[in-house]
Chains A and B, each alone.
Chain A
Amino acid sequence: MTNASISVNNVSKSFRLFHEKRTTIYESISGFFNRKQNYEILKALDNVTFDVRPGEMFGIIGKNGGGKTTLLRIISRIIKPDSGSVQTNGKVIPLLALGLGFHPELTATANILQSSILFGIGKKEISSKIDEIIQFTGLEKFADTKIKNFSAGMQMRLAFATAMQVKPDILVLDEVFAVGDLDFQTKCYEAILSFKKQGKSIIFVSHDMNAIKEHCDRVLFLNKGKVESIGEPNEIIKLYENFSKSHSGEQVNI
């Protein structure tokens, strides 16, 4: 598909799973002479291919350790795939692990400024929007509080509001609403809906099957780094639930 907003082609990624990680020079030298392989290869992603269309909310589901976060990191350019490629059409803003790279020692306002500059918004442009962002989060009282004193939910509010203001073309969300309260979740889904209407895409990872069912247009089930299936939400969720039941005795391999 040529007009996809994200196209992921044959992406594979392995990690070395060190049993005892060598982080000092001495350990490296002694390990070099003592060539016992002290790691195993974990294939986090195995030949993953899919497209996300403009205006689509694309869900990704799967067990813990199934490769979801690795996939999102590769799409967001944070890590590089071993093989395969990712093409994105426009600005990708990832919201992974509750932050936009917030610095714990800086205030909310300073962090909004830093993140906006990181995503290429001019200083002047953003200073006029800071009030708007703070207002969206409902954290007016905490504008000059350091992030380290924020709760997870508050951090997420700030990150989401900032992400929406820097005008992304693609939003990558990793289990972000789990820490938000109901009011804010509703607010976020409204914002996402209007975002979709502008023809922009969202990748949404969640363990909340109701949310996936309700908001996603298509869903991908990622199982041990492989694409199990892609399709209509109800169908894929059923598949995933059946799969989980039949494998419930199995250990999570992480």
Chain B
Amino acid sequence: MRAIIHEMWDMRNILFNFAISDIKIRYKSSVLGIIWSLIEPLLLLGVLFFVFSTLFKFEIPNFPIYLLLGLIIWNFFKNSTNFALSSLVNRTPLLTQIYLPKSIPAISACLSASIMLIIELGVLGIFMMILGYTPPITVILLPLVFVMMLAIILGISLPLSVLNVKYRDVEFIWGIIIHAGFFVTPIFYRFDMLPEYLQNIFQFLPTIQILTMAHDLTLYGTLPSVNTVAYSIFMTAMILLVGYGIFRKLQARIVEEL
């Protein structure tokens, strides 16, 4: 483990170089460039707000902020895993021409998504100011939630990047999971609106725990219970451990499969 951290430190320059050039390539020859990463969630926000507050008459206090926060967190999850999924395949020429630790592309993909997350959080801040909303003091703990989220994302992204080299259908399966996840995660509804039996099942999903914590800290000023925090930390560690294990096992001969 220490050797890995050491290697990562040596490679920090290339991690940032990849992350930034990935973003540049993504928005190449588009006039608005990175602004698209802001327009997209805002448009989705508009649609969801219209559908659920006007048509379905959901009554969630501060609904726009509730929605935007959920969308931003979900986007972070979706973007980083999607970028990471194709990160090794997209760098085939590089990986077959020179030596590179196989974890670098997936990690730099998560870094790109983190950069986009920070920009989107800036938009959330502006959004709050426009609406005249002052978040409770507990919001200062929000970065910790994102750190946990990043660990979960890494634990999923690393194995996804190698699995997608071995089995190209991983891409399609993951697409479906992301799609389903959007509805399962309480982004445009409150978790307690679900029937109890669904709550009992879904509460084990770490992304839901994370989102609930983020909502609590930003909107309700309540601290998550010790149980929630302990469970989330445990799940995060498990995902990271299992994910890294899969990655390690598959990465050794992965260049030969590219």
Quote the shortest CB–CB distance from A17 to chain B (angstroms). Answer: 12
CB < 8 Å neighbour of A101 from B21, B28, B93? B93
CB < 8 Å neighbour of B97 from A24, A100, A104, A113? A100
**CB pair A15 B256 closer than 8 Å:** yes
**CB pair B14 A101 closer than 8 Å:** no
Please measure, in the bound complex, the distance between the C-alpha atom of A97 and the C-alpha atom of B93, giving whole angstroms. Answer: 9
A96: Cβ under 8 A from any B Cβ: yes
In the assembled complex, 27 residue pairs joining A and B whose CB atoms fall closer than 8 Å, in A order, are A24-B167, A25-B170, A76-B98, A76-B99, A78-B96, A78-B97, A79-B253, A79-B256, A94-B97, A94-B98, A96-B96, A96-B97, A101-B91, A101-B95, A102-B93, A103-B21, A103-B93, A103-B94, A106-B21, A106-B25, A110-B21, A113-B17, A114-B18, A115-B98, A117-B14, A117-B17, A122-B13
A211: Cβ under 8 A from any B Cβ: no
A43: Cβ under 8 A from any B Cβ: no
A-B contact count (CB 8 A): 74
Quote the shortest CB–CB distance from A89 to chain B (angstroms). Answer: 16
Instruction: Select from chain B the residue with minimum beta-carbon distance to A115.
Output: B98
Please measure, in the bound complex, the distance between the C-alpha atom of A104 and the C-alpha atom of B10, giving whole angstroms. Answer: 25
Which residues in B have some Cβ–Cβ distance to A below 8 Å?
A: 10, 13-14, 17-18, 21, 24-25, 28, 91, 93-100, 166-170, 173, 252-253, 255-256
Instruction: Select from chain B the residue with minimum beta-carbon distance to A95.
Output: B97
CB < 8 Å neighbour of B28 from A96, A105, A123? A105
Report chain B residues within 8 Å CB of A120.
10
CB < 8 Å neighbour of B169 from A26, A101, A113, A115? A26
Quote the shortest CB–CB distance from A106 to chain B (angstroms). Answer: 6
**CB pair A78 B167 closer than 8 Å:** no
8 A Cβ contacts from A89-147 to B:
94, 96-97, 99-106, 110, 113-115, 117-118, 120, 122-123
Please measure, in the bound complex, the distance between the C-alpha atom of A118 and the C-alpha atom of B14, giving whole angstroms. Answer: 6
